[in-house]
Amino acid sequence: MSGARLREIALGVAGTIAFLAAWELAARLGPGSALFPPPSGAVAEALARLPLATVADHVAVSLGRITAGFAAGAALGVAIAVAAGWYRTFGNFVRPVVELLRPIPPLAWIPMAIVWFGLGEASKVFVIFLGAFFPVLTNAYRGITGVDPTLVRAAQTMDVTGVALLWRVMLPAALPDIAVGLRVGWGLSFGVLVAAELIAADRGMGFMIMNARQTAEVGVIIFGILLIGLATLATDWVLGLAIRRSVGRWHPV
Amino acid sequence: MHARTAPAEARPKIAVRAVTKRYGAAVLNGLDLEVAENEFVTLVGRSGCGKTTLLNIVAGLVEATSGDVLVDGAAVTGPGRGKGVVFQAQALFPWLTAIRNIEFGARSRGLDAAACRAEAEQLLALVGLAGYGDRYPAQLSGGMQQRVAIARALAQDPQILLMDEPFGALDEITRIEMQDELLRVWSTRRKTVLFVTHSITEALVLSDRIVVMGGGGIVAEYPLDAPRPRSRADARLAALHERIWEHLR
Amino acid sequence: MRWVDRPWFQGTACLVVLLALWEGASALGWLKPFQFPPPSRIAAASWEMVVAGFPTGTRIGQHALVTLQRIFTGFALATVAAIPLGLLIGRVPALDQLTLPIVTFARSVATLSLLPLALLWFGLGETSKVMLIAYACFWVMLTNAIAAAKYVDPVLVRAARTMDVRGPALFFEVILPAATPRLLAGARVAIGIGFMVIVGAEMIATVAGLGALIMEARTFYRTDVSIVGMIALGVLGFAFTAGLAWLEGRLLPWHRGLAEVRR
């Protein structure tokens, strides 16, 4: 590892430690530690109040929801984008409807989702689905319609037309844009998941935090916030890695 | 139309008959051209003289407003089917490695996977890139990319090879190397070639016949029978260079 | 092109057909009015929201204003702090490296997960919501400001130096203008996120504002009003994207094609 890289990491670590130390100090010297616990206190309180199994359960439920919603949203987003890009007429029908619905924040759909699907899993998965659907659709559409015409012409000179052209040339060419859409969509889905769980759930990481508010267990709340932040980072990192290893081999990511 | 039943050997490989193309104004006006089998013909002219348009019409990528184009006696109705094209740049599929790009060309012949791979490797070696097969286009220099592009076009085992300023995006030195490369490859796998360039020198080094275009038609034709490889400093070529230059001014 | 094939015709026709089908299905009793209020009902509710309001007295304009005020106050607070700080960090590599892990983590925290904390610290009033928006916008604007300062074309800086432009003058005459396109792109993202966050926050903790409206109306079985609220949000969101695009065009006539700033 080069000297410059080591320096980068060292500074990063130093900065984090300095931040945590400042937090610790401010908490101990500051207002009542009940409302503003130091990082050490927060984690300790959380682990004392919540058995690890419960936390694991909440995390699992949350991840299950977001995976289901995201998978559905991404799959449908790509499918519709490809169809809309390939069949002009379908695209002309679908685009206005999409453009009208897109500016509505996914969270705004929650009350109607509850009306349609009740208070169970389906309503939450639906809203998460919306969170992923629009970014993936937008980016995939841009990818499919933005394919370099030279590539299409080259394929035609090699007798590749019709569906084969779509499958072997246009879809791969659209992959970098689709990858961006997936990444953005995942981030949005996560935010939507948390919100949905705060508003209307009885399990999950968001619920864990909201529940702790009733009893003012600030430690648990902070622990929950940090946990969600970590989960977001970790999943985004994994997604980024997968993208780098696939699309990243032939396209700058 | 032409109902001649000339014997196949005398029949031109490419026959352009009274081709006109209008984009509002006429870019090509009743143009006639014939290219014999295995002949290397170059089209030169100023930008906008219609040389690329003509190439695209022969390739079947563009439809003529009127007139016929016949390849091997059969009318051209669309791209593909034995009309290999090498574009100027950015025509390699970025998500495929070099060898897979070449295989893509071979697949159009309906060969099975193993045969495609074998053919691709042979062509990769022919263009001097053995060992670079697993690189992606982004990892290859401009000259290397064009070599792969040529290999890919050859992988189709095309009837004719159409090249649209294939070395136009390269620097001078690489360009000269590529011209020599092309001649070497062409001597091994001889094809009928229709080549477009705006470089007179390039045309002089490569061609059996130079066709000078302008005003929507052909201004002059210069057959060359000097043996290849030709010295770029040759006095006779310099004289021809001057004459062609006069046409283009 | 035959006019039947024109995109705008096909698009409009599709919309009209869908709305007609919806209305028809509702009239025939196939769709329950509570679950799928027909377009006619929604149109009536829109009018009601403009004149009478829901809960009675709070018109749609007022709800929208409340929501917008929260977004913009939060955004303004965040921007005022984030831009100078970000530009500074961007020009001092050591600072950038020191703060990178914290900034990355703080950005990854789901803003709405902070809501319970904000409610405990700042109570149920405006402050907690504004703080939440400010938090979300701050990290976006900070990251953008850092990148904007960091990626100023070094050729520009070198050119300026050869003309004896240094220090504060360099900052205000070169760095800042060069950074502006990216900052504006960041503002667009930040406000978008602000919209998302406020809707969620309002659903939990208030009675005024568009998010609250959508939630409240449902509990009173006025799903038609809920949908009006959703439409209002959509219109506002669209107006802002368009408005910011216009602003960018006016402020930066020299900069074409603002690239989308990636996360």
The ipTM is: 0.89
In degrees rounded to 5, what are phi and psi of residue B109?
A: -85, -5
> What value does the mean pLDDT take over residues C90-101?
92
Of A153, A159, A249, the CB nearest to B81: A159
- Count CA atoms within 13 Å of residue C69 on its CB side: 10
Average pLDDT of chain C, as a whole number: 88
Q: With an 8 Å Cβ cutoff, are A158 and B108 in contact?
A: yes
The structure tokens 């945590």 sit at A20
Q: Which chains touch A (3 or more CB pairs under 8 A)?
A: B, C
* Touch B-C: 3+ C-beta pairs under 8 A: no
Q: With an 8 Å Cβ cutoff, are C238 and A103 in contact?
A: yes
Which residues face B33 on adjacent strands?
B16
Which residues face A37 on adjacent strands?
none
Q: Tell me the pLDDT tens digit for each residue of C173-201.
A: 888 888 888 898 899 899 999 999 999 99
**CB-CB neighbors (< 8 A) of A153 in chain B:** 61, 79, 85, 87, 91
Q: C249 versus A152: which is more confidently predicted?
A: A152
Q: Assess whether pLDDT exceeds 60 at residue A148.
A: yes
Among chain B residues, the shortest Cα distance to A176 is held by B95
CA B123, B129, B134, B139 torsion-angle sign:
negative
Q: Can you tell me the distance from the alpha carbon of C106 to that of A169, in angstroms, rounded to the nearest whole number?
A: 40
pLDDT score, position C259: 39
pLDDT score, position C258: 41
Instruction: Show the tokens assigned to C78.
Output: 């965040």
**CB-CB neighbors (< 8 A) of B91 in chain A:** 150-151, 153-154
pLDDT score, position C254: 72
> What value does the mean pLDDT take over residues B100-108?
95
Q: With an 8 Å Cβ cutoff, are A156 and B61 in contact?
A: yes
Among chain A residues, the shortest Cα distance to C119 is held by A213
Q: Assess whether pLDDT exceeds 50 at residue C262.
A: no
Task: Show the DSSP H helices in chain C as ranges.
Answer: 7-27, 39-51, 60-91, 93-108, 115-122, 126-150, 154-162, 167-170, 176-205, 210-219, 223-251
Which of B100, B63, B66 is CA-nearest to residue B79? B63
Which of C238, A37, A160 is CA-nearest to residue B108? A160
Q: C78 versus A198: which is more confidently predicted?
A: C78
pLDDT score, position C140: 95
Q: Are B96 and A160 in contact (CB under 8 A)?
A: no
Q: Assess whether pLDDT exceeds 60 at residue B8.
A: no
Q: Assess whether pLDDT exceeds 60 at residue A146.
A: yes
Q: Tell me the pLDDT tens digit for each residue of B21-41.
A: 999 888 999 999 999 999 999
Q: Assess whether pLDDT exceeds 60 at residue B1.
A: no
* A7-11, A191-195, B144-148, range with the lowest pLDDT: A7-11
Instruction: Provide the whole-model pTM.
Output: 0.89
Name, of A11-15, B77-81, B143-147, C56-60, the range with top average pLDDT: B143-147
Q: Which residues contact C39 (CB under 8 A, 6 or more apart)?
A: C19, C22, C23
pLDDT score, position A32: 63
For an interface test with A, give the residue of B95, B107, B194 to mutate (most A CBs within 10 A): B95
For an interface test with A, give the residue of C113, C219, C226 to mutate (most A CBs within 10 A): C113
Instruction: Show the tokens assigned to B240.
Output: 């021809």
Q: Assess whether pLDDT exceeds 60 at residue B71.
A: yes
pLDDT score, position C166: 82
Which of B152, B122, B125, B123 is CA-nearest to residue B137? B152
pLDDT score, position B9: 59
Q: With an 8 Å Cβ cutoff, are C120 and A209 in contact?
A: no
Q: Assess whether pLDDT exceeds 60 at residue B242.
A: yes
**CB-CB neighbors (< 8 A) of A159 in chain B:** 80-81, 108
Name, of B9-13, C29-33, C134-138, the range with top average pLDDT: C134-138
Grade residue C256 by pLDDT with cuts at 50, 70 and 90.
Answer: low
Q: With an 8 Å Cβ cutoff, are C113 and A89 in contact?
A: no
* A132-136, B173-177, C241-245, range with the lowest pLDDT: C241-245
Sort residue C92 into left (φ over 0), alpha (ψ -120 to 50) or beta.
Answer: beta
Grade residue C261 by pLDDT with cuts at 50, 70 and 90.
Answer: very low
Q: Are B45 and B248 in contact (CB under 8 A)?
A: yes
Q: B13 versus A23: which is more confidently predicted?
A: B13
Among chain A residues, the shortest Cα distance to C8 is held by A92
Can you spell out the DSSP letters for B64-121?
-SEEEEEETTEEP-SS-SSEEEE-SSS-S-TTS-HHHHHHHHHHTTT--HHHHHHHHH
Of B90, B95, B104, the CB nearest to A158: B104
Q: A37 versus B43: which is more confidently predicted?
A: B43
Question: What is the DSSP-derived secondary structure letter of residue A168?
Answer: I
Grade residue C257 by pLDDT with cuts at 50, 70 and 90.
Answer: very low
**CB-CB neighbors (< 8 A) of A171 in chain B:** none
Q: Assess whether pLDDT exceeds 60 at residue A236.
A: yes
Of C12, C102, C113, the CB nearest to A19: C102
**CB-CB neighbors (< 8 A) of C236 in chain A:** 103
Task: Show the DSSP H helices in A146-170 as ranges.
Answer: 149-157, 162-165
> What value does the mean pLDDT take over residues B187-207?
95
> What value does the mean pLDDT take over residues A103-121?
93
- Strand pairing category for B83-86 and B217-223: unpaired
Q: Assess whether pLDDT exceeds 90 at residue A85.
A: yes
* A39-53, A159-173, B79-93, B129-143, range with the lowest pLDDT: A39-53
